[in-house]
Amino acid sequence: MIPLSVPCLKGNEERYVLDALNKTWVSSAGGYVIRFEQELEKYLKVKSCVALQSGTAAIHLALRLAGVERNNEVIVPTLTFIATINPIKYLGAEPVFMDCDDYLTIDCDKLEQFLQQECMQTSKGIKNKSSNRYIKAIIAVHVFGNMANMKRLSELAKQYDLKLIEDATESIGSFYCEGELCNQFSGTMGDFGAFSFNGNKIITTGGGGMLTAKDDKMVQRARYLSTQAKDDDLNYIHNDVGYNYRMTNLQAALGVAQLEQLESFIKIKNDNYTYYKKKLESMKHVKLLPFQKDVRSNYWFYSLLLSQTNSTKEFFVEELKRYEIQTRPIWKLCHMQKMYQSNQSFYIEKAYFYWERIINIPCSVTLTYGEIDYIADVLSKIT
């Protein structure tokens, strides 16, 4: 089986993990946690980061620090992994779902329309006319290595006094290479940025995440909350409700080694994407979705867009599986999920189109040109 996305562990991973083991620093205390935070701060050009157990934990803490409380609302895209949405419910708040654009990120035109037409400004903040709830934040998801329109999102967030949270769990290493935001990385432009190092990401710690924030005090607050809100380690005094969200030293050791290779991984994934594109360009019924021209993408996932034929995405997934090629359809839209069907969604149209027609194909750093040749040959047979 050619896997969809698996880690590449050919650097200093073993050396650093064994070093952590030999020094018996295996839990959330240890030098590699601090080193991983510092190395990522340097890479992203930010003041501070806090290493956490998952991208989900990072989003949860970002929402809490953004002031999201019970019966508030948060604006989110419907086309995203469910982990973007669930932390809103952890806090007793509710999501409001938006459509996507052609790069699969949140549709800023519809977002602006929603804020103008469906909401009203009050002395306590912006209120949703339909639900009578206050809206506190927007979560923008950078999907598969593409980046949401941060210029417009930042302007809208400022205009309506909303906190802007970047779900950069799929886009570490992506940055703008043109315009006003040139050289700014995903996860560094909003009020908060959340990263993931799950096993299928471009770099991994097995499981793990990272949180950044514009305000360094928010990062320090997140660090406090992520370690059970300890005010006195010796006497076990806690003055707030905290979480067991800190990354372990073993995970961070893996992360340090992976981060050392991130730029080389991005080059390989760019080369593989270009090779895929050349192999598939003559096919009539499938094409690779493009990456943005004004963004240096990390090329995390390669999305195959299926034309409107009698062959469904399920057919392609099953046929490719028969040829030992692992693929995945794009996520079921979040507003269609059982627990969110009663939540408000605003003119969802394009997200349905892409949900019905996208599958993701193998994209590991370890993928070879020979394997891409084989995948292309199989696609030519079944289309």
Whether the Cβ atoms of residue 254 and residue 13 lie closer than 8 Å to each other: yes
Residue located via tokens 């970047």: 166
- Asked if residue 140 has pLDDT above 70, the reply is yes
Whether the Cβ atoms of residue 210 and residue 49 lie closer than 8 Å to each other: yes
pLDDT digits (tens, 9 = 90+) for 327-361: 999 999 999 999 999 999 999 999 999 999 999 99
Q: Which two three-digit tokens encode residue 152?
A: 């417009």
pLDDT digits (tens, 9 = 90+) for 109-131: 999 999 999 999 999 999 999 99
Q: Is 201 among the residues known to form the active site?
A: yes
Catalytic residue among 110, 136, 201, 313: 201
User: Which burial class, exposed, middle or buried, applies to 45 when counting CB atoms under 10 A from its CB (0-12, 13-18, 19+)?
Assistant: exposed
How many residues in the chain?
Answer: 383
pLDDT value at position 307?
A: 87
* pLDDT band at 309; cut points 50, 70, 90: low
pLDDT digits (tens, 9 = 90+) for 35-94: 999 999 999 999 999 999 999 999 999 999 999 999 999 999 999 999 999 999 999 999
Summary mean pLDDT of the chain: 97
Domains of the chain in start order, with CATH, are 13-259 (3.40.640.10), 262-382 (3.90.1150.10)
pLDDT value at position 310?
A: 60
- Asked if residue 170 has pLDDT above 80, the reply is yes
Distances (CA, A) of 111 to 99, 122, 146: 8, 19, 18
* pLDDT band at 28; cut points 50, 70, 90: confident
pLDDT value at position 60?
A: 98
If DSSP codes are grouped into helix, strand and coil, which group holds residue 164? strand
* Percent of the chain surpassing pLDDT 90: 96
Instruction: Kindly state the average pLDDT of the residues 250-259.
Output: 98
Q: Which residues in 100-112 are b (16+ Cβ under 10 Å) and which e?
A: bbebbbbbbebbb
